[in-house]
A and B are shown apart, each in its own frame.
Chain A
Amino acid sequence: MAAITYRKALNDALAEELAHDENVVIIGEEVAEYNGAYKVTEGLWKRFGDKRVLDTPISEAAFVGLGVGASMLGIRPVIELMFWSFAFVAYDQIVNNAGCIRYMSGGLVNLPLVIRGPANAGTNVGATHSHMPESILASNPGVKVVCPATAYDAKGLMKTAIRDNDPVFVMENTLLYGETWEVPEEEYLIPLGVADVKREGSDLSLIAHGRAVITSLQAADILAREHNIDAEVVDLRSIRPLDEEAILQSVRKTHRAVLVDENKPFCAVSAQIATTIQGKAFDDLDAPVMRVCSLDTPAIYSPPLEKLQLPTLERVVEKALSIA
């Protein structure tokens, strides 16, 4: 098994699916000749040509809408948003058209499309480029949202997303693009809606998605090493559909949960998880469900301070200790 970057894993997934299905096309800003703003699509245009990999003007509403329209006729567009933060200029296309057309047509119209790109803060690009819209978008029934935390998950989830027959939004992370993980050479798919226990533990559950999973794994190490607390780390991987059973199983085992979430706290993904836990595992809890989210303001630019705004290792450890 070779260690490859999260970026390469995504690139491999895209290349494999382009080769696998002639209906797959890559559409977005700088995805072709420029090789991708973050090089996720590097080499694909050269290999697959103008027909399959297309550069667009800076017109998110138009090219997302184009992707939705093309998917109605069975094309499988994989649309890159250079940042998920740019989703807001295409919100009507994403929420009303990708999200509602199937329903409003009584199931007559299917929309097999993927929208992907990075959705994270922490890179000192200011509030406009630091949105994490997974909670906002996952609150729309009709769409699916996944947030891979590792290269392995990124590849398997991306391939599944492209083969899925509903609109799937893949939210990546620029801070993970250069990180490496072991990824098998042979083909594999990871189903949507299936969480992954990234670390087994018995004392406390750290439940997270995206890069917060990595923070949680580091926090679990500290808790074990310095505090003799055996934390379990549950990686949701998929936000909608959500593996509620995996969450509940972990909580039933550990009786304590800290939700680690890079979203802003108000109506965050973790708010939904907290509701699930209190509603379905209340009697299993030995402590209140706690959350560590991004600090509740727009993303600050100042680099040292932005680090503090995201869920820090220290805050996760502290919150865990408060209920351990």
Chain B
Amino acid sequence: MHCDVNTMNTPATIRASQADVNLRLTAEEKIGLLRQMLRIRRFELAALKHYQAGIHMGGFLHLCTGQESVAVATVSLCGENDHIVAGYRTHGQALAVGMTMNECMAELFGKATGCSKGKGGSMHFFAPDKNYWGGHGIVAGQTPLGLGLAFALKYRSAKGCCLCFLGDGAINQGVYHESLNMAALWNLPVVYIIENNHYSMGTSIERSSAFKECLAARAEAYGIDWDRFSGEDIYEVRARTWAAMERARNELRPTVLQIDTYRYYGHSVADANAKKYRSPKEIEEYRRQHDPLMLWQRRLSEEGVVNDEQVEAFDAEAKTEAAEAVRFAETSPLPEPEDIFRDVYYEVDRQTQAGRAGTFFFND
């Protein structure tokens, strides 16, 4: 299944590569975007291998393999007052904001050196110092958090916006609609980015959405501007996401973006039916014709920015970095049993006066 990209709601047919935000990109930055995508892919493939080995990792592992361009292109537009919050398929955004492979891999391994000290796992990466606010496991649970981040920016008169990522499955949750209504009503600088990989777990859009033509178009009911485009071209994603971010920053208006993309693996690695609710042919077609890494690489080669040898070297570097991250994770210490009780309460961790009065934990 492949939804054709509907461009009827776009303002103009400016060639994305000629958009200001893309003209400003240096060759080095363009290469940087490719390297980020390669890093995300290599990180996830390494994680997949070790998940399947069944020794170190538990729980779920939701890979964004095939969707890397969305995270990399959108995050590349963020400035110091722009903030990000996302759902559970979040490795891409996490690496794109600058989290290290080491801390992310160690988190997957449940180690003390993980970004969340082994307390969050795959779905719950955080890096507040990089304006990255998670990593949230419940579908659409992050959508009002995005409102709150945008509210705080507006309250402080900071010229910035919040990018709130969600999947196509999240748009049928009530809290998403409540959030859209409030975003419009309160004029909050939030950009909801629906990463449409066409399947909410194993249920296709045809079977989950009454209005199938366009998921973002539901925003019209709330008086919110929306746009829909393909995620496979970095220039396009940057140009059209930038317009939404500028609307948020300058006009304090929200936007809903639907970025069409595709995941090669199942909903999670534990998705036993990953190849049953869609055909292997469909997956293969995406890999061969729509792979965002391949397309960006081709683009940069056409522009004379990189050659194949360089790309191979970047890929090898990313692969080595991922292998080293695995080694780091394997050799890192586990959290100590007493760490189970840390990070629950601010006041207890700091042993403030408030953290010393009364019983906080009821173990005996």
Contact = CB atoms under 8 A, between A and B. Distances in A.
Contacts of B138: 92, 96
A63 interface: yes
B141 A92 contact: yes
A67 B186 CA distance: 14
A244 B151 contact: no
Interface in A78-112: 92-93, 96-97, 101-110, 112
B181 A106 contact: no
A71 B148 contact: yes
B354 A191 contact: yes
Nearest to B148: A69
A62 B144 contact: yes
Interface stretch (B29-37, B112-120, B263-271): B112-120
B322 to A, nearest CB: 22
Interface stretch (A31-39, A118-126, A234-242, A251-259): A234-242
Given A69-B146, A104-B119, A109-B134, A62 B181 contact: yes
Contacts of A71: 148
Contacts of B153: 73
B275 to A, nearest CB: 31
A62 B175 contact: yes
Contact of A65 (B127, B148, B156, B357): B148
A63 B147 CA distance: 9
Interface string A143-154: 010000000000
A64 B178 CA distance: 11
A56 B182 contact: yes
B11 interface: no
Contact of A59 (B114, B120, B128, B181): B181
A191 B147 contact: no
Interface string A264-282: 0000000010001001000
Nearest to A89: B174
Given A61-B175, A69-B147, A104 B124 contact: yes
Interface stretch (A160-168, A178-186, A216-224, A313-321): A160-168
A208 interface: no
Interface string B124-152: 10111000011111100101111111111
Contact of A69 (B85, B116, B181, B347): B85
B359 A241 contact: yes
Contact of A193 (B127, B128, B358): B358
A272 B358 CA distance: 14
B342 interface: yes
A65 B179 contact: yes
Interface residues of B, number: 58
Contacts of A25: 155
A7 B126 CA distance: 40
Measured as residues with beta carbon below 8 angstroms from the partner, the interface class of chain A is 35 or more
Interface in A271-299: 272, 276, 279
Nearest to A65: B144
A244 B85 CA distance: 39
B145 A97 contact: yes
A109 B128 contact: yes
A78 to B, nearest CB: 14
Contacts of A144: 345
A145 to B, nearest CB: 11
B265 to A, nearest CB: 24
A74 B118 CA distance: 25
Interface of B: 83, 85, 114-121, 124, 126-128, 133-138, 141, 143-153, 155-156, 174-175, 178-179, 181-182, 185-186, 342-347, 349, 353-354, 357-362, 364
Given A74-B152, A92-B141, A104-B119, 14 more contacts: A51-B155, A56-B182, A62-B144, A65-B147, A65-B148, A73-B148, A77-B148, A103-B119, A104-B121, A142-B345, A165-B346, A166-B346, A241-B360, A276-B362
Shortest beta-carbon contacts, A-B, top 10:
A69-B148, A193-B358, A65-B144, A241-B358, A62-B178, A107-B343, A106-B117, A73-B152, A69-B145, A193-B357
18 contacts: A65-B145, A65-B148, A70-B151, A70-B155, A77-B148, A96-B136, A102-B344, A105-B119, A105-B120, A108-B116, A109-B133, A165-B347, A192-B357, A193-B359, A241-B360, A243-B357, A243-B358, A243-B359
